[in-house]
Amino acid sequence: MNKAAILKRILEIIPGGLSWSIIISLIILSFLHPVSSAIIIISFDFYWIIRTLYLTTLLVMAHARLSRQRNEDWLARCLNLPANLGFSELYQVVIFPVYNEGLEVLRPSLEALSRSHYPKEKIILVMAFEERNKQAHDLALILEKEFSGRFGAHLSTFHPDGILGESRTKGANATWAAKMVKKFLDTRRIAYEQVVVSCFDADTCVDQEYFGCLSYHFLTSDKRHQASYQPMPVYNNNIWQAPSFARLVEISSSFCQMIESMRLEKFVTFSSHSMSFKTLVQIDYWPTNMISDDSVIYWKGYLYYNGDYRVIPLYVTVSLDVAYSSNIWRTMVVQYKQKRRWAWGVENFPFVVNGFIRNKQISLFHKLRRSFHLLESHVTWAVWAVILIVIGPLPIFFGGAFFSQTAIAYNLPKITGLLFKFTLFTSLTWIFLSWTILPPRPKGISWFKHLFLILEWIFVPFIILIIGSAPAIDAQTRLMLAKYMEFNSTLKGNKVL
Amino acid sequence: MLNFQKTRGILFYLSVFIFFIGLPFILSFALGYKFNQHSLKFVKTGLIFVKTQPAGAKIYLNGKLTSEKSPASMQELLPGTYKVTLELAQYYPWNGQVEVEAGRVSRVDKVIFFPVRPNLQQLNQEKFSSFRIDPEKKTIYYLDQEKKALYRSNLEANNFEDLVSLPDKFSQINGWEVSADQKKVFIFNYHQISVIFFDPRLDDEYASSIVFLDYPQEKVVNVFWHSDSYHLVVLTNKHVQVIESRLNAAPVNLVELNKEGSAAFYDTKKDALYFSDSQRDLEGNFYNNLYKLELSTNLYSLEKLISQPFGQVKPLEKKELRE
């Protein structure tokens, strides 16, 4: 094993090792020194309450921005921009990497795209199929026929299986498609600077104003090519049909993304996103051997531009499918696997730190800061629910007779309970906001479901336990043990699969 | 965007500030510390946790009424002894001294309030000498020594029914018990046991409604019904014996006792007699032993449970059974 490989392994071990160390040491401490354990737990509880209040405030702010900006006529604003900014020459390339999704998923995405409040002749649609998918050519033909003439161009690409150095990932498919687009643009003599590329999950239904908003921000931003553009993902496509469990998880995911959009210094691309095609070519496209291509593409840009690369939040929504299945157990499994795939973003840590070690231009402060943010976010994800729910009561159970007679043993459950009452306020805020981002109730769905959508929040503690830390611990442990994950498309769809 | 980021920055530092300012207070409270305004120092305190049954009692600490009602915890108490009084209307108050130690909880959590006017109900007004309640908890049996009569009622002291008249020659009754089948009663004094049948017609075996068993040589200490409601287990000053409850029955001595006045308990469900007796070993040491004599129909054995020496402990052999 050479030095680089050893370093990579060490970096892969760090997040999981840290998470497990925290969990195990707190459990041991609960037995050996319950007073110290109780002090740590109370401190963590208090930290968590403050953090929740802080993040909920950010969520309210992000929600206010979303409410205001999503209804703007962005196209009109683009048309009013000075001509030298080049709106008339701007092209939108939209890539939909398709794994094994069928027409019931793809058709609504293209319908939504065709309803965009944006000049369609400027949209280049790319349906990126996998060659190994036997249905791919048939699907491509059907969609080309159905949507012919609705966009400036409609390309279907077929990513060959087994290219050397590639894994079976979405990024490999998207990269293949982007290379085909490059050839297409070269043929049409369209400059890469004039092209914005969006890579969407197959189930992404864009808001009508999305491309207007994207174009406006792209054209008016400083160093427009040194930025990715991130819409707010909401899971509205099938939210009225999805079971409570899955719905709550996805609403929480949307909220987390909205909160992240307020923390620009930590903001990283996630899921469907857009960027300059010129930059995409310069940084050699999406990674072809990593699952978390959506976030790694940001880090590639960050390293390429020596830290002068950012993510600009777009307060318009892209709507995706809630991942669920035919019964609650299978839904839990689907959700767990999806969250584990998201948590696999921990593979960014060795990638980024390796990049930082090689890069001599980025300041040490920024390197440390970004590395810490990345590590802290993944470790916190893995341990917080375990500390709050599992380790929290341990000193009481295992502290012994002496500890049970101490003031801190008596006060621990009281203080924890009191602190968590504060989170009721934040929960009420989340409930209210979740209600406001719901799409209109479809015909045939009872008004009673509105009430149910509020009451279902009482399940949150159980969901936290299952979907909170477990997938992150799982992903980090796999990375720690070099049991690398393979890409698996999440079961999605408007119909129950 | 800038404004949002500025606001966010302010919120962030405000959160950090609240955390670092609030945490010492929360931890010191949790650990039982209290800020002393006079000495300007943190002093470690203790607390008293009070829980009563029923709840809602007023709590006095050193004679001073607190604002809390049970269950409650009195926090931030300086170490020392506190006089705690718990009061609840209609109940007897609870008083006690509670020692408070620094950083520890003193629990007063096993307080049961007893009502000032207990739920006392007079069932009847009779002149009986003693009473028994049958094992099934359905009947009260009354024995009136003066009138020499046994009668019964239900548990509400209604539906009285005269059962039997006691023999006149029993001037003194040392004990009595109704049989498990509730068809007869024995009475005894020092030298005689008498079994009186409530309804002799029910059992042709019995020629008379009263059976007398005489003990001229021994002194009857205690008598128990065997679960078959036919045999009597008799503890005299000399023996443990069984005797049938029929005329002219001869007792069977099961155990010879070494001392008079043995204490005894009879487990009717298992037909086991527990009794005490003394013993002297070869070296002259005295022991007071507890024995269990099993008298069930399919098991008959004697077992020594404990041996309490008067002097030093010596291993003892099992007491011989006497048939």
Kindly identify which residue of chain B lies nearest to residue A40, measuring between CA atoms.
Answer: B27
- Residues whose CB falls within 8 Å of the CB of residue B305, separated by 6 or more in sequence, listed in order: B274, B289, B290, B291, B292
Domain boundary among A321, A336, A351: A336
User: Does some domain include residue B323?
Assistant: no
For B256, counting Cβ atoms within 10 Å of its Cβ (0-12 exposed, 13-18 middle, 19+ buried), the class is middle
Q: What b/e string do you get for A163-194 counting C-beta neighbours within 10 Å, with b at 16 or more?
A: eeebbbbbbbbbbbbbebbbebbeeeebebeb
* A187 and A78 together in one domain: yes
**pLDDT classification of B306: cutoffs 50, 70, 90:** low
Element (DSSP H or E) covering residue A195: strand A195-199
Q: Which residues of B touch A50 (CB under 8 A)?
A: 15, 18-19, 22
* Contact assignment for B47 to A264 by CB distance below 8 Å: no
Residue ranges making up the domain that contains B104: 47-112
Total Cβ atoms within 10 A of residue A343: 25
* A59 and A87 together in one domain: no
Distance from C-alpha of A466 to C-alpha of A470, rounded to nearest angstrom: 6
User: Does some domain include residue B143?
Assistant: no
Looking at the structure of chain B, the number of domains it has is 3
* A252 and A311 together in one domain: yes
Distance from C-alpha of B103 to C-alpha of B76, rounded to nearest angstrom: 9
* B183 and B305 together in one domain: yes
8 A C-beta contact, residue A420 and residue A393: no
* A323 and A250 together in one domain: yes
pTM for this entry: 0.72
Higher pLDDT, B204 or A20: A20
User: Does some domain include residue A290?
Assistant: yes
Q: How far is B77 from chain A (nearest CA, A)?
A: 11
Stretch 18-47 of chain B: residues touching chain A, C-beta under 8 Å:
18-19, 22-23, 26-27, 29-32, 45-47
In the numeric block, which tokens belong to residue B52? Answer: 């009563």
CATH code, B282: 2.130.10.10
Q: What is the pLDDT of residue B304?
A: 56
Q: How far is B64 from chain A (nearest CA, A)?
A: 23
Q: What is the mean pLDDT of residues A138-153?
A: 94
Q: What is the mean pLDDT of residues B119-141?
A: 84
* B246 and B281 together in one domain: yes
Looking at the structure of chain A, the number of domains it has is 2
* A54 and A110 together in one domain: no
- Per the listing, tokens 């999440």 go with A490
In the numeric block, which tokens belong to residue B264? Answer: 């005894």
* B78 and B31 together in one domain: no
Domain boundary among B112, B129, B152: B112
* B203 and B237 together in one domain: yes
User: Does some domain include residue B305?
Assistant: yes
* B172 and B305 together in one domain: yes
* B71 and B182 together in one domain: no
8 A C-beta contact, residue A2 and residue A372: no
Convert the pLDDT of each residue in A98-115 to its tens digit.
Answer: 988 999 999 999 999 999
Inform me whether the pLDDT recorded for B22 exceeds 50: yes
Residue ranges making up the domain that contains A316: 69-336
Q: Which residues of B touch A51 (CB under 8 A)?
A: 15
In the numeric block, which tokens belong to residue B131? Answer: 């009473």
| The one-letter amino acid at A204 | T
Inform me whether the pLDDT recorded for B2 exceeds 80: no
Considering CB atoms only, which of B15, B26, B105 is closest to A406? Answer: B105
* B67 and B173 together in one domain: no
Q: How far is B65 from chain A (nearest CA, A)?
A: 23
* Contact assignment for B45 to A51 by CB distance below 8 Å: no
Q: Which residues of B touch A53 (CB under 8 A)?
A: 15
* B29 and B99 together in one domain: no
Convert the pLDDT of each residue in A362-400 to its tens digit.
Answer: 999 999 999 999 999 999 999 988 888 889 889 988 888
User: Does some domain include residue A105?
Assistant: yes
**Considering chain A, what percentage of its residues have pLDDT values greater than 90?**
62
Q: Which residues of A touch B26 (CB under 8 A)?
A: 42, 46, 415
* Contact assignment for B103 to A61 by CB distance below 8 Å: no
* A183 and A315 together in one domain: yes
8 A C-beta contact, residue B295 and residue B242: yes
Q: What is the pLDDT of residue B260?
A: 83
Inform me whether the pLDDT recorded for B179 exceeds 90: yes
User: Does some domain include residue B218?
Assistant: yes
8 A C-beta contact, residue A470 and residue A381: no
User: Does some domain include residue A354?
Assistant: no
Q: Which residues of A touch B23 (CB under 8 A)?
A: 43, 46
* B235 and B281 together in one domain: yes
User: Does some domain include residue A96?
Assistant: yes
Q: Which of A406, A412, A426 to mutate to test the interface with B (most CBs of B within 10 A)?
A: A406
Backbone angles phi, psi at B149, to 5 degrees: -140, 150
* B288 and B271 together in one domain: yes
* Bridge-based pairing state of the strands A153-159 and A227-234: unpaired
Higher pLDDT, A463 or A354: A354
* A243 and A181 together in one domain: yes
For A494, counting Cβ atoms within 10 Å of its Cβ (0-12 exposed, 13-18 middle, 19+ buried), the class is middle
CATH code, A174: 3.90.550.10
* B227 and B275 together in one domain: yes
**pLDDT classification of B310: cutoffs 50, 70, 90:** very low
In the numeric block, which tokens belong to residue A308? Answer: 């002068």
Inform me whether the pLDDT recorded for A176 exceeds 90: yes
